[in-house]
Chain A
Amino acid sequence: MRIRITYQKYGALLYTSTLDVQTIWERSVRRAGLNLQYSQGFHPQPRIQIANPLPLGFIGSHELIDIWLADEFNSAEIINLLNSALPEGMQVLEVEIIEENGPSLPKQIEASQYRVDLLNTDDNPDKISVLAQDILTKDVLPRVRNRKSYDLRPLIQALEVQISESGNTVILLKMPSNSSQTGRPEEVMAELGIPMEDFRVTRTNLVFSGKYA
């Protein structure tokens, strides 16, 4: 059976890459006493699909993964089994049993929504709002990454500056994350002149493309 898991990634797990997250799922499933299905062939691979890689250091509050199990259990049982087998920093919120042969999960994802929390209390929200507005009025935003130049502007699908309940400045972003384009929140932050150690990014949502929504 194929299940879609909604989970959180935080704490000590922030620094674990997507490749290692895949290993963590395989091991957690084994510890939970569940059995993964394996692909056919000479080097059988466990059938796992991570929706979209979450960059190192980002909190994931609604991450998705599909796994194929060789067992039959109900969702509540699976949630319990997995949560007792996952390391600290990863937690299952929801398990949905889905169509075994439906479309691949990564292909369905179009974009990501992020929330960027600024850590310094002396950040000036007004100044940041002005800078953000400035970015939005521009037609092009040339940047260089890994010695390649590209235009950041079309990758910013939404950008909003807010004040959180606790009074800190928060930036909300929507950027593409699909096979043809990936927007990077830290590039927007660099454009706003805020260094890496002064903010923390949470991916709050994965946006499905219209076709699958």
Chain B
Amino acid sequence: MTDKDSIQTFLDRYLLTITKPGRYVGGEFNQICKDWEQTALHFAFAFPDVYDIGLPNLGMSILYDQINQREDALAERAYAPWEDMEMLMRSHAIPLFSLESKQPLRNFDVIGFSLPYETLYTNMLNMLDLSGIPLHTDERTNDDPLILAGGHACFNPEPMHAFIDAFVIGEGEEIIHEVAEVFKAHKRAGEPRIALLKALDTLPGIYIPSFFEVEYQSDGLIKEIRNIEKPEKSYIQKRIVKKLPKPVTNFLVPNVKAVNERAVIEIMRGCSRGCRFCQAGMITRPVRERPAAEILEALEESIQSTGYEEVSLLSLSSSDHSQIADIIPQVMQMSESKNVSFSLPSLRVESFGPELIASMQGKRKGNFTIAPEAGSDVMRTRINKSIDSQDILDTATQIFKMGWTNLKLYFMIGFPDETLEDVQGIVDLTRQVRSIGKQLVGGRVKIHISVNTLIPKAHTAFQWLPFSEKESVLEKYRLIQSGLKNTGIKLDWPDYDNSMLEIWLSRGDRRLSAVIEAAWRGGARFDAWHEYYDVNIWQQAFESTKIDPDFYSTRSRCTEEILPWDHIHTGVSKKYLLNELEKSRALETTADCRQVCHGCGIQANYAISCENIRTGVQ
């Protein structure tokens, strides 16, 4: 029996003995199955969480579509098996396989892992292990697949450097084809693995961690990061596509429940607002809009090809799209005529006129969400969120007047130079919103606030700041809690320990590879799931590797320090980020850069005009 046949036989026999067996069979409408033997290049895209979470991932849908459009290549998928399936597979010695052709993952040429966030790392190791692929890059031979990774978490690739052969830094639509070409030539020539890595290294945006070396000082800080392969190449600049390619419309339609089941069209990439805490806003610059006509056409096409009953528009800040006032009414009209519903997340108060709210009136049923982020005007100035409390109250008034009753507000604490007054501002603002709601819609008003603690992320103006100490976080939460007592306002906040993993891993260096491996060996899996994440396993992992976790979390970093991700460039200069940090301290704002360029580095580093690229003038 071939591998493939024994996997199919295993599934036929045993799937019914586990939970949600539909996760492991594929067969979705729009799945693409090509002939394995007749196709030269075999790509597998792997999402290190369970099927229901991974299936809707847009990044993976894009790459799946890009590779399958090629004559010479096929792309298949794999997700992390749930623990009952993992046990079953291990007890029957079944390797991790692709959903399309049920081929073992190790038979593929390239495995591309999608790493949008850090809490997937242990699952990724588990998937390598279940595939029978050596965990460490330096143990792999020519017979092993090339292990690629991409996604937002890879903007600090260092904690995973030991496990990944090549990182894609930035956008994947074009580079994935270049990787395919390099691999094809490599396969034809039958060269050793090192030659493949060297060839990949010539592609802009590819980071081969084994070509770099990091040296530390006795105090644990980084002394030097150097390229040992090509000393003159001291950094990797993220890849961008100058024009967004035609959006994917033939989404996979699952046969069992997934977290999101809808057709999603990305209307804009990047953000010009420059909120100082926001990593996505920095790493996705410059802004590129899709034209309204293309968006409408894609939505229609996607309803036709998926049959989905819901469509959605995606971007970091949908209301900033220059044609949004045309797009929304047209989408509303289309969704009505086709009997599908329409959701539009990420609207911003600051660009949110009453017309826009009014045009969405048909949508009154759900929650309306506003993200004031901070409670006081002072703090909003520090984080460069260019709205004041009055704007927020006005918007809330509009929303209630239009008939919405449920409002959700997003806040953060743990910002630099934060006082208890700033935190009290969260309470005051929320109470004010509630009284407006009471006046306008009466007892039906429901306010829900969510308060997260700032994670100072790599490549943001706040990257040098420490994560708040537990005591200070708890004090602030207690203040909010007592301030909202007996108001019926629902308050959510994350458990402090639950945030720690994301903090360590997103701000860590190469030494964390050992910690991640130790945690995985200690049983860490599904760390993104609160009910599975076990902080004790991680603490033990730090202890056993003699690494101090606080070094990465609550330590504040001096601005001269070499940061672990300094050799990964987003196009936004470190100088600009530093200046933003200083402006935050000096209570200065930086305006939306659609009005005036602040020289963040994007135009210079990519030799482009942000204005032209935004609207698609080439």
Which residues on A are within 8 Å of B, measured CB to CB?
11-17, 20, 24, 26-31, 33, 35, 38, 56-57, 85-89, 119, 196-197, 200
Q: How far is the CA of A85 from the CA of B29 in the complex (A)?
A: 8
8 contacts between A and B (CB under 8 A): A16-B255, A31-B306, A56-B21, A85-B307, A86-B29, A87-B27, A87-B28, A87-B253
Known contacts A12-B255, A88-B27; is-contact A196 B16 (Cβ 8 Å): yes
By a CB distance below 8 angstroms, the chain A residues around B15 are 15, 57
Contact in complex: A38, B339 (CB < 8 Å): yes
* Given A12-B27, A30-B303, CB of A56 within 8 Å of CB of B255: no
Do A31 and B13 contact each other (CB < 8 Å), given the known contacts A13-B255, A16-B22, A87-B255? no
User: Beyond A12-B255, A31-B307, is A56–B29 a contact (Cβ under 8 Å)?
Assistant: no
Q: A31-B304, A31-B305 are in contact. Are A197 and B16 (CB under 8 A)?
A: yes
Nearest B residue to A200 via CB reads: B12
How many angstroms from the CA of A198 to the CA of B21 in the assembled complex? Answer: 17
Select A27's contact among B16, B26, B308, beta carbons within 8 Å.
Answer: B308
| A57/B303 in contact, CB under 8 A | no
Is B27 a contact of A57 with CB atoms below 8 Å? Answer: no
Q: Does B585 touch A at the CB level, under 8 Å?
A: no
> Is the CB–CB distance between B17 and A197 below 8 Å?
yes
Closest to A58 in B: B16
Task: Assess A16 versus B256: contact at CB under 8 Å? Given A26-B307, A31-B304, A31-B305.
Answer: yes
Cα(A60)–Cα(B309), bound, Å: 26
A residues within 8 A CB of B308?
27, 30
Contact of A26 among B12, B14, B305, B309 (CB under 8 A): B309
B306 in contact with A196 (CB, 8 Å): no
Cross-chain contact B17 with A89 (CB below 8 angstroms): no
Docked complex Cα distance between A15 and B19 (Å)? 10
Contact A31 B309 (CB under 8 A): no
| Contact status A57-B255, CB under 8 Å | no
Closest to B9 in A: A119
**B240-259 near A? 1/0 per residue, CB < 8 Å:** 00000000000001011100
- State the CA gap A28–B309 with chains docked (Å): 11
**Inside 8 A of A38's CB, which chain B residues have their CB?**
339
Asked if B17 and A196 make an inter-chain contact with CB atoms under 8 angstroms apart, the answer reads yes
Q: Which residues of B contact A30 (CB under 8 A)?
A: 303, 307-309
Q: Is A27 within 8 A of B27, CB to CB?
A: no
Would B29 and A15 count as touching, CB distance under 8 A?
no
Bound state CA distance, A86 and B255, in angstroms? 11
Q: A196: which B residues are within 8 A, CB to CB?
A: 16-17
Beyond the given A20-B255, A85-B29, A196-B17, please list 4 additional residue pairs across the A-B interface where CB-CB is below 8 A: A12-B255, A57-B15, A57-B21, A197-B16
Size of the B side of the interface (Cβ < 8 Å), in residues, is 27
- Decide: B29 and A87 in contact? CB cutoff 8 A: yes
**Cα–Cα, bound, A107→B190 (Å):** 66
Given contacts A30-B307, A31-B306, contact A24 B13 (CB under 8 A): no
Provide the residues of chain A in CB contact with B356, threshold 8 Å: none
Shortest Cβ gap from A6 to chain B (Å): 20
CB-defined contacts of A26 to chain B, threshold 8 Å: 307, 309
Closest residue on chain B to residue A35 by CB atoms = B339
Evaluate contact between B305 and A12: CB separation under 8 angstroms: no
List the A side residues contacting B17 at CB < 8 Å: 196-197
In whole angstroms, what is the CA distance A137 to B309 when docked?
A: 53
Nearest A residue to B307, CB-CB:
A27
What are the 9 closest A-B residue pairs judged by CB atoms, nearest first?
Answer: A12-B27, A27-B307, A15-B22, A30-B307, A31-B307, A15-B21, A87-B29, A12-B25, A57-B16
Q: Which residues of A contact B27 (CB under 8 A)?
A: 11-13, 87-89
- List residues of chain A with CB within 8 A of the CB of B25: 11-12, 14-15
Instruction: Looking at the assembled complex, report how far the CB atom of A154 sits from the nearest CB atom of chain B, in whole angstroms.
Output: 26
Asked whether, in the complex, the Cβ of A197 is within 8 Å of the Cβ of B14, the reply is yes
Closest to B339 in A: A38
Assembly CA distance A26 to B308 (angstroms): 9
Q: Which residue of A lies closest to B303 (CB)?
A: A30
Within 8 A of A (CB), among B296-329: 303-309
Q: State in angstroms the CA–CA spacing of A90 and B339 once bound together.
A: 24
The docked-state distance in angstroms from the alpha carbon of A196 to that of B12 is 11
Residue of B nearest to A85 (CB): B307
A38 to B253, CA, bound (A): 22
Chain B residues near A85: list those with CB within 8 A: 29, 307
Residue contact A15 to B303, C-beta cutoff 8 Å:
no
Q: For the complex, give the distance between the alpha carbons of A16 and B20 in Å.
A: 9
Docked Cα-Cα span, A27 to B22, in Å, equals 18
Contact residues in B for A20 (Cβ distance below 8 Å): 22, 255-257
| Binary flags per residue of B1-41, CB closer than 8 Å to A gives 1, else 0 | 00000000000111111001110011111010000000000
Across the interface, which residues of A come within 8 angstroms of B255, CB to CB? 12-13, 15-16, 20, 24, 87, 89
Please name the residue on chain A nearest to B31 by beta carbon. Answer: A88
Q: Which residue of chain B has its CB nearest to the CB of A24? A: B255
> A12-B26, A56-B21 known; A28 and B307 CB under 8 Å?
yes
Bound Cα distance A134, B307 (Å) = 51
* Docked complex Cα distance between A35 and B256 (Å): 23
Q: What residue of chain B has the Cβ atom nearest to residue A32's Cβ? A: B307
Interchain nearest-CB distance for B27 vs A (Å): 3
Complex: chain A residue closest to B13, CB-CB: A197
How far is B339's CA from A160's CA once the two chains are assembled, in angstroms? 49
CA gap between A20 and B28 in the complex, in Å = 13
CB distance from A41 to the nearest CB of B (A): 15
CB distance from B578 to the nearest CB of A (A): 51
Q: B44: shortest Cβ distance to chain A, in Å?
A: 18
Q: For the complex formed, measure the closest distance between the CB of A123 and the CB atoms of chain B, giving whole angstroms.
A: 14
CA distance A197 to B305 in the complex (A): 36
User: Complex formed: what's the CA distance from A89 to B307 in Å?
Assistant: 17
Taken together as a complex, chains A and B put the C-alpha atoms of A28 and B28 apart, in Å, by: 12
**Residues of B close to A27: CB separation below 8 A:** 29, 253, 306-309
> What chain A residues lie within 8 Å of B256 (beta carbons)?
15-17, 20
Residues of A within 8 A of B22 (CB): 12, 15-16, 20
**B16 shortest CB reach to chain A, Å:** 4
Q: Please give, as numbers and ranges, the residues of chain A lying within 8 Å of B20 by CB-CB distance.
A: 15
Q: Report whether B16 and A56 are in contact in the complex, using a CB–CB cutoff of 8 Å.
A: yes
Q: In the complex, which residues of chain A have a beta carbon less than 8 angstroms from the beta carbon of B307?
A: 26-31, 85
A119 contact set on B, CB distance < 8 A: 13
